[in-house]
Amino acid sequence: MAIKRRNFLKSIGYSILGSSLLLPKKSTSSQKTEFNWKMVTSWPKNFPGLGVGAENLAKIINILSNNRIKIKVFGANELVPPLEVFDYVSSGGAEMGHSGAYYWKGKSQACQFFSSVPFGLNAQEMNAWLYYGDGLKLWEKLYMQFNLVPRPAGNTGVQMGGWFNKKINSPKDLQGLKMRIPGLGGEVLARAGGVPITLPGSEIFTALQTGAIDATEWVGPYNDRAFGLHKAAKYYYYPGWHEPGPTLECIINRDVYNKLPNDLKHIIDISCKAANIDMLADYTSKNNQALQYLISENIIIHEFPKKVMTFLRKLSMEVIDEIGQTDSITQEVYASYKKFQKEVIPWTELSEKSYINSRE
């Protein structure tokens, strides 16, 4: 990326005029901004966890680049609607975006594997697949078709199963259930006889309160409390079988990324990696506090009955297996994901699972 000479000289605190020629400022001072970028996001501006994560990422890149990259973050609908982030960054309207890959299943079903899959990998396993399996390589291959570079940039951890106004005692309670649940989880619910509905976050509360829907999932206590969902439903179910560790994405316009100098490319990559661990730590530290608050508001917390989980797991495997065959890139991604899951689970069983179960 060529930069104008005058800007360059100014950027290093160097005046070509007069006696200051030989008096450069220290290189420690903030440099001139070379790249003024926009980041569009799918989250309400500064929304806990997700929106804050996007803001933090932008700040980190600015600091690490010593001001050479400055990023203005836009909340959902400020510049484009939440679900137009992908196209907008792809076409260069914004240089960068922050969202979740499952929103782009209309581009390719393969996208869903890079966010979360029902009964799939948890956060720790996802990161292992992305960074040390073929995950990120395949994600780059997929998004290259759309002129985008993807980077994992956050994770919520295992989500909650959702808010219900009726108890779920057995698989038959899912029949006819009108639930806001997007993506693969929704397809599984449909197969269970339910009616999946897609609504943006901002419309969930009213739909639940008016009875337009019987149930909804959103994220977990920290985010669900922010939307006031406990004021519109009685029962709060766990675990979030449909989103066991969703990765959030930072997407960068590929033309823009490729023209960056090497150090700035790496500053973006490493900042995203730090944002990935940071968001999960944020959720892990805050969810319980929100959970205790919800309990104090008389919310009843239930674990899904075992027979419901077994039923949903069986249907999930069917749905994913079908979706995994839709096109050639999806086949490739699914094969890699499935193989990794098969290999990593025996280790999770001996380590995290055995340990967590021993601790109570």
Which residues 104-133 are close enough to bind a copy of itself by CB under 8 A?
A: 119, 122-125, 127-133
Contact between 52 and a copy of itself per CB under 8 A: no
Cis peptide before 239 (omega within 30 of 0): yes
User: With b meaning 16 or more CB within 10 Å and e meaning fewer, what string describes 29-64?
Assistant: eebbbbbebbbbbbbbeebbbbbbbbbbbbebbbeb
User: According to the binding rule CB under 8 A, does residue 244 interact with a copy of itself?
Assistant: yes
330 contributes a contact to a copy of itself by CB under 8 A: no
Least separation in angstroms between CB 284 and a copy of itself: 4
Give yes or no for residue 212 binding a copy of itself (CB under 8 A): no
Of 79, 226, 274, 329, the one binding a copy of itself (CB under 8 A) is: 274
Q: Does 16 bind a copy of itself (CB under 8 A)?
A: yes
Instruction: Decide: is 209 part of the binding site for a copy of itself (CB under 8 A).
Output: no
We find the least distance from the C-beta atom of residue 97 to a copy of itself, in angstroms, to be 21
| Site for a copy of itself contains 56 (CB under 8 A) | no
Nearer Cβ to a copy of itself, position 36 or 285? 285
Q: Is 79 in the site for a copy of itself (CB under 8 A)?
A: no
Name which position in 145, 206, 285, 328 contacts a copy of itself (CB under 8 A).
285
* 178 token code pair: 């009108």
Minimum CB separation of residue 80 from a copy of itself in Å reads 29
* Binding of residue 338 to a copy of itself (CB under 8 A): no
Burial zone of 118 (CB within 10 Å; 0-12 exposed, 13-18 middle, 19+ buried): buried
HSE of 105, CA atoms in CB hemisphere, 13 A: 18
Q: How far is the CB of 214 from a copy of itself (least distance, A)?
A: 22
Shortest Å distance, C-beta 269 to a copy of itself? 8
Taking CA 351 as the corner, what is the angle to CA 292 and CA 122, rounded to the nearest 5 degrees? 55
| Selected binder of a copy of itself within 221, 230, 311, 337 (CB under 8 A) | 221
> How is 170-202 classified by DSSP, letter by letter?
SGGGGTT-EEE--HHHHHHHHHTT-EEE---HH
Q: Contact with a copy of itself (CB under 8 A): which of 17, 18, 27, 210?
A: 27
Select 88 or 129, whichever has its Cβ closest to a copy of itself: 129
Helices (H), ranges, the chain: 5-11, 50-64, 85-90, 123-132, 135-144, 183-191, 201-209, 221-226, 254-258, 262-296, 306-323, 328-348, 354-358
Residues contacting residue 232 through CB under 8 Å, at least 6 positions apart = 163, 205, 208, 209
The least CB distance from residue 40 to a copy of itself, in Å, is: 23
Question: Could you give the strand order of the β-sheet that contains 215-216, starting from the edge strand earlier in sequence?
Answer: 195-197, 178-180, 215-216, 162-164, 235-238, 300-303
Stretch that binds a copy of itself, among 71-79, 173-181, 203-211, 282-290 (CB under 8 A): 282-290
Of 247, 282, 323, 337, the one binding a copy of itself by CB under 8 A: 282
* Residue from the set 159, 216, 247, 330 that interacts with a copy of itself by CB under 8 A: 159
CB of 90 to a copy of itself, least distance (A): 25
Q: In degrees rounded to 5, what are phi and psi of residue 350?
A: -80, -25
Q: CB of residue 167 vs a copy of itself: minimum separation in angstroms?
A: 17
Q: What is the distance between the alpha carbons of residues 79 and 149, in angstroms, rounded to a whole number?
A: 21
Residue given tokens 């196209």 in the structure block: 87
